[in-house]
Structure 1
C-alpha cells in the first residue's frame, strides 16, 4: 500500500508547486523580468536594464518600482491602466521629457519618484490629477524652470525634492497651495539673486524656515532668504533655449533666395517621426523569450508528471 501513498504525496506536492507557479505567472506575463507579489500587489522591475516598460504588469498593482533602468522616454498612455497605484518610482533612469497627461490616471498615487534623470522641463499641468500625492522626488535632474502653477493641486504634499537642478528662480506663488508641506530641498541650484524674479522665493524661505534646506545664491555663498529688493533689482528675462531662434538667423532666412539656403541634414529618427513611424512601446528581449520558452517546457513537464502519478495510483488501486 506504500505505492499509492507515495503517489498521492507526489500528486499533492506537484499540485502545490503548480498553484504557486500559477500565482507567480499572473505577475510574470512579461517573461519573468519583474519580481511580483500577488498578496501585497507589489511589482519590482528595478535594476533590469529596461529600455521600455514591460507589458502585462497587473493592472491592480499598488506599488511599482521601475528605478535603476535605462528608460529614456515614456509613452503618453504608459500608466493609464494603473488606477490603484499608490507608489511609483522612475528614479535613476535616463528620462529627458515627460509627455503631457502621462500621470493623469494615477488618482490614488501618494509617492512619485523622478529623481536622478535628465529632465530639463516639466509639461504644464503634469501633476494636476495627483491630488493625493504626499511625496514628490524631482532632485538631481536638469530642470531649468518650473511651469506656473505646477504644484497648485498638490494640497496634500508633505515632501518636495528639488535639489541639484538648474533652477535660477521659481514662478510667483509657486508654493502657496502647499499647505501640508513639511520638507523641501532647494540646494545645489544656480539661484540668480541679481534678478527680481528671486524675491518671491527669498520671502517664502524667510517665512518658512522650518520647512526647507538651505538655498544659496549662485553668485555668492549668501543665502537666498537674505536677498533684499535692492540687491535683486534687475529685470531679467531668460531665453527659452529649447524654442528660441536667434534674430540674426530669422533675418538671414527672410532676405535670402531659396538657392542660398544651405541644405541641413535631417537625423534619421526625425525623418521617421515625420513619416509617422513610431517604435513599438515594448519588444521582448532574447532572455525574456528564453524565459517564456522555459516556462512552457516546465508546464509540459508538470502535466507529464501529473499524468504519470495518476496512472501510478490507478495501477496500485487495481492491484489492491
Structure 2
C-alpha cells in the first residue's frame, strides 16, 4: 500500500510546484502570459485581461507594456525592482488611483503612459523621481485637480497631455519648471474662467504662445479662449466641492453671529452629502481570485485539480486491489 500512497504524494507535490512556477512566471516560454524579448529587453503584457501585474518581471527589462488590461489598482511596490525601465505603458486600464511612491524607483524612465484610465486625482510628488521623463500622457482620465508642484521635477519633459479630463484650473506655478516643454495639450477640459485661479494659466499661455504647441486651443466653458481672459472677467474666488479651499467669509460671519438655538437643523440625505464630497461607489470590488491570479494562475489551478483527481483515483484503485 505504500507504493500508491507515495505515488499520490509525489503527484501532488509536482502539481503544487507546477502551479507555483506558473503563478510566478511572466514570459510565455516559462508558462506565463507575456511575450518577452531577451535581446531588446521588452516585455509585452498588453491585451491579456490581467487584473494584477505579473510577478517576476525580469529586472533588466527596458520596456514594459501593460496597456489594454483590467488593472484597477497598483501595489505600492509594483515597479520597485525595475530600475532600468525607460518605457512604461499602463494605458487603457481601469486605474482609479495611484499609490504614493509607486514610480520612485523608475529613475531611468523616459515615457510614461497613464492615459485612458479612471484617475480622479494624483498623489503629491508622484512624479518627483522621474527626472529623465520626456513624455507623460495623462489624457482621457477624470482628473479634477492637480497637486501643487506635481510637475516641478520634470525639467526634461517635452510632451505633456492633459486632454479630456475634468480640470477647471491648475495650481499657480504648475508649469513653471517645464523648461524643455514643446507640446502641452490642455483641451478639452471645463476650464472655469469666472474664477481667478485661471489667471495663472491664461498668463502662462500668452507668454508661451508660439513656443509650445497645443496650448492656444484651451477654451473656457463659455467657449472663450483661456489666453484672452482678463482679471475683470476672472474676479471670483474659486470654491469647488471636494477641495480643501476656505469657507467663504460670508458664511463664517453668519455662523459666528448666530445663536446655536436659532440655527434650524436641516436634514441632509446621505446620498446628496456623498455627492457633494465627490464620493462615488466603486464600479466593482475585486474578488480574491482577481487580485491574486493571472491567467497562468487559473491554468495552474485547473491542472492542479486534474492531477489531484488522478492521484485520488490512483490511490482508490490500489486500495480496492489490496
TM-score, normalised via structure 2 length: 0.69
What pairs up with 1:245-260 in 2 under 5 angstroms?
Answer: none
The answer to whether residue 33 in structure 2 is matched with residue 33 in structure 1 is yes
Structure 2 Cα separation of the partners of residues 204 and 116 of structure 1: 27
TM-aligned CA deviation for residue 288 of structure 1: 5.5
Where does residue 141 of structure 1 map in the other structure? 141
What pairs up with 1:16-95 in 2 under 5 angstroms?
Answer: 27-28=27-28, 31-95=31-95
Where does residue 219 of structure 2 map in the other structure? 216
Q: Is the deviation greater in 117-126 or in 282-291?
A: 282-291
Where does residue 181 of structure 1 map in the other structure? 181
Structure 1 Cα separation of the partners of residues 226 and 137 of structure 2: 22
Is the partner of 1:289 in helix, strand or coil? helix
TM-aligned CA deviation for residue 289 of structure 1: 2.6
The 3 A distance-change label for structure 1 pair 287 and 224 is same
The answer to whether residue 282 in structure 2 is matched with residue 282 in structure 1 is no
Where does residue 231 of structure 1 map in the other structure? 233
The 3 A distance-change label for structure 1 pair 212 and 55 is same
Is the partner of 1:205 in helix, strand or coil? helix
The 3 A distance-change label for structure 1 pair 282 and 291 is closer
CA contact (8 A) 2:51 2:294 kept: no
Structure showing greater radius of gyration is 1
Structure 2 Cα separation of the partners of residues 147 and 284 of structure 1: 34
C-alpha RMSD of the superposition: 3.3
Where does residue 107 of structure 1 map in the other structure? 107
The 3 A distance-change label for structure 1 pair 286 and 89 is closer
Is the partner of 1:216 in helix, strand or coil? coil
Runs of 4+ displaced beyond 2 Å:
25-32, 241-244, 278-282, 284-293
Deviations 1:209-237 (A, max 9, x none): 1314210001x111000000000001112
Where does residue 122 of structure 2 map in the other structure? 122
CA contact (8 A) 2:51 2:291 kept: no
Higher relative contact order (CA 8 A, sep 6+): 2
TM-aligned CA deviation for residue 32 of structure 1: 2.7
The 3 A distance-change label for structure 1 pair 192 and 26 is closer
Is the partner of 2:208 in helix, strand or coil? coil
CA contact (8 A) 1:91 1:113 kept: yes
Is the partner of 1:120 in helix, strand or coil? coil
The 3 A distance-change label for structure 1 pair 90 and 57 is same
Is the partner of 1:202 in helix, strand or coil? helix
Gap runs ≥5 in structure 1: 1-24, 257-261, 263-268, 273-277, 294-320
Where does residue 242 of structure 2 map in the other structure? 240
Where does residue 299 of structure 1 map in the other structure? none
The 3 A distance-change label for structure 1 pair 284 and 173 is closer
CA contact (8 A) 1:216 1:224 kept: yes
CA contact (8 A) 1:135 1:159 kept: yes
Aligned residues: 246
Deviations 1:192-251 (A, max 9, x none): 000000000000011111314210001x1110000000000011121226999xx9xxx9
CA contact (8 A) 1:156 1:178 kept: yes
The 3 A distance-change label for structure 1 pair 68 and 242 is farther
